[in-house]
Structure 1
Amino acid sequence: MGRICLRLVLIVMLLLLVCFIYHKVQLAKEDELYQPIGVQVEVNNLTMSVYAEGEGKDTLVFLSGGGTCSPILDFKTLYSRLSDTYRIAVVEKLGYGFSEITEDTSKDIDSILEESREALRLAGVKGPYILSPHSMSGIEAVYWAQKYPEEVKAIIGLDMAVPEIYEDYPIPMNMLKLTSFAAEIGLTRWIPGVSERDAIKYGTLSEKEKELYRVIFYRRTVTADMLREFKSVKSNAQFVSEREMPDIPMLLFVSNGEDTGWDEEKWKSYPKEFISQLSEGQLIELDCAHYIHNIEYERIEVEIRQYLKEICD
């Protein structure tokens, strides 16, 4: 039995080595495709990616959910429908998209926010902003409005997480670490359909953009930065929830809870309670999964245009 187990271990190690070598070869081949979209700026001597388009008088800043490998492409289906009227920008946090991966940068909420603000400043994207966060970035958006109310004109939440969600939410760190390891050695390349994210399946990306999304996926799946961000989210959410609610207009689009880890009733209860505390809050329920901006983008576009006409004109 000992010899059999040893042989099995050696076979597994050999297969993992072959997988890793194949992954590195593929990454080298894909280098030509992995060309930054937008601009690269240096924030604290680290490279961050910012994409902007459109020339409207109001600026929408899209902030991605935790673990979204390519924020620029993930939001493209929606922002490309709005940039004829509004200035739009997408910030890719460290470890995401075309931004640099780091091993030890802090992921406390102040560090995350200041990096986003500085990246926008260096990219020439001026406020005040209409923040459009998805999922985990809802924490950053609320804190932005708390700390710098003069910079935030409104928040349009794309199934954003409110701070209270994380009070009872178990962060599956062991599973996330395992996924990170699988991505690092290239095991994800052997899982059928794993790179076909909602932006590819439901959005309006071109074939070339879909190919680029896949290339980014194999480089930016549960990076070291993402792991530290997940690990810090509970303390960040608690810190934000203990501060005063920001007094700004908010429009929250809410999904049916699919792909969030919550059932529909529980998932919707958090933003409903959150929005009830605001004097200028609206909520729109959508019957679709978590990445609403890639699924119900047509309705969201119409609702955003109507909402901004009401609060900005």
Structure 2
Amino acid sequence: MSASGQLPLGELRPLEGRRLWADIAGNGEPAVVFLPGAGGFGLDLLRVHELVARTTTSVIYDRAGTGWSDDIDLPRPMDEVIDELRQLLRLLGVEPPHLLVGHSLGGLYVQRHAQRFPDEVAAMLLLDPAHEDWDLYMPEALKMANQPATTDMPELPATFIAQYHSAFASLFGAFPDPLRELLVDRHFHAERLRNGFREGANVLAMFDQLRSAGPRPDVPLIILSGAASDATQTLLSSTEVVRQQIEASRRLYDDMAAKTPRGEHRVLPDASHLTIPLARPDAVQRAVRDLLGRAAAA
């Protein structure tokens, strides 16, 4: 890593008048493309990216307004995000169909991508994904429709930010020191914190769009969900609220998998919503490998 803090991998690619950060590794088809959650960066998925690249082509990237990509006004329409990704993949020379991996909000983008371009999706891997039926499963306090409608991040006390920073930094303990420090600092950059909040501010409109657009294509699907909690969650919510969300999510994901001809839900007892790709990159790699096999056999 250079003294200027330049990232040790990946590069900025010019696209539609702005630059998107991306890294491509490995060789093979179908390529695996990772979509982080709201506030997440492509580099959060580095450990999984390195594992998957041993088997096939792997792509991590930052959406505009996130990570090391150029800024943009947020939130954005869901289809704009998907069109941006398709253009980037063409620029990278990564041909469809792809195995799309979406974490949290990234799972919404994956599902919408599959609705719009079913022939470009070989399989889907969803990591604790958002879904338009979320509110049907959650208790009242956790329903998206009951949350304040705002794109402004609330003011947080300095003591809370310090506690959150410490808890967040510990999640990246397996990353090499220079990269870990750079990654955590970027996450806590004031604009990136705000953008993480803003990116999902239109989630109810996304839910409506997915709901009205019909079923997903019949492709192999695995959902990985975390049954544990971490310090970042319990700083924001009580232990009981986190427990209720985990239980409700499990019911939602069981039903999502059951309604999909080739769907499967796997629960990870030692990972949380945020930490699935950090604590269990092996489980993500295994799911990718299984989906590649199922797609090849189809």
TM-score by length of 2: 0.81
Report how far residue 195 of structure 1 moved. 5.5
Report how far residue 173 of structure 1 moved. 6.0
Distance 1:107 1:61, change over 3 A: same
Task: Give the counterpart of 1:275 among 254, 257, 263.
Answer: 257
Q: What's 1:252 paired with?
A: 223
Tell me, in whole angstroms, the C-alpha distance in 2 between the residues paired with 1:245 and 1:40. 35
Q: What's 1:10 paired with?
A: none
SS at match of 1:156: strand
Report how far residue 121 of structure 1 moved. 1.6
Q: Does 1:213 align with 2:195?
A: no
| 8 Å contact kept, 2:219–2:262 | yes
Q: CA RMSD in A?
A: 2.8
Which range moves more in the overlay, 187-196 or 41-50?
A: 187-196
- 1:215-234 correspondence to structure 2 within 5 Å: 215-219=185-189, 221-224=192-195, 226-234=196-204
Q: What's 2:237 paired with?
A: none
Larger CA Rg, structure 1 vs 2: 1
SS at match of 1:163: coil
| 8 Å contact kept, 1:188–1:194 | no
Q: What's 2:266 paired with?
A: 284
How many percent of aligned residue pairs carry the same amino acid?
Answer: 20
Distance 1:266 1:80, change over 3 A: same
Task: Give the counterpart of 2:39 among 55, 67, 90.
Answer: 67
Q: What's 1:297 paired with?
A: 281
- 1:125-144 correspondence to structure 2 within 5 Å: 125-144=94-113
Distance 1:33 1:154, change over 3 A: same
Q: Does 1:164 align with 2:128?
A: no
Partner deviation per Cα, 1:230-256 (whole Å, 9 max, x = no partner): 221111122112222112211111112
SS at match of 2:209: helix
Task: Give the counterpart of 2:23 among 51, 58, 61.
Answer: 51
Distance 1:189 1:175, change over 3 A: same
Tell me, in whole angstroms, the C-alpha distance in 1 between the residues paired with 2:26 and 2:259. 33
Structure 1 spans left out of the alignment, 5+ residues: 1-29
Q: Does 1:177 align with 2:153?
A: yes
| 8 Å contact kept, 1:253–1:284 | yes
Q: How many residues align?
A: 274
| 8 Å contact kept, 1:131–1:156 | yes
| 8 Å contact kept, 1:196–1:214 | no
SS at match of 1:279: coil
Report how far residue 74 of structure 1 moved. 0.6
Distance 1:196 1:212, change over 3 A: farther
Tell me, in whole angstroms, the C-alpha distance in 1 between the residues paired with 2:55 and 2:277. 18
| 8 Å contact kept, 2:123–2:291 | no
Task: Give the counterpart of 2:62 among 66, 81, 92.
Answer: 92
* One-letter amino acid matched to 2:254: K
Report how far residue 308 of structure 1 moved. 2.1
SS at match of 2:222: strand
Report how far residue 31 of structure 1 moved. 8.2
SS at match of 1:40: strand
SS at match of 2:180: helix
Distance 1:153 1:190, change over 3 A: closer
Report how far residue 189 of structure 1 moved. 11
* One-letter amino acid matched to 1:61: V
Distance 1:302 1:216, change over 3 A: same
Partner deviation per Cα, 1:268-287 (whole Å, 9 max, x = no partner): 11122222211111111111
Report how far residue 37 of structure 1 moved. 3.5
Distance 1:190 1:302, change over 3 A: closer
Tell me, in whole angstroms, the C-alpha distance in 2 between the residues paired with 1:166 and 1:191. 32
* One-letter amino acid matched to 1:249: P
SS at match of 2:68: coil
SS at match of 2:29: coil
* One-letter amino acid matched to 1:151: E
SS at match of 2:283: helix
Distance 1:195 1:174, change over 3 A: farther
Report how far residue 149 of structure 1 moved. 0.6
SS at match of 2:13: strand
Report how far residue 34 of structure 1 moved. 4.1
Tell me, in whole angstroms, the C-alpha distance in 2 between the residues paired with 1:193 and 1:153. 38
Report how far residue 154 of structure 1 moved. 0.6
Tell me, in whole angstroms, the C-alpha distance in 2 between the residues paired with 1:44 and 1:166. 36
Tell me, in whole angstroms, the C-alpha distance in 2 between the residues paired with 1:188 and 1:102. 29
Q: What's 2:162 paired with?
A: 191
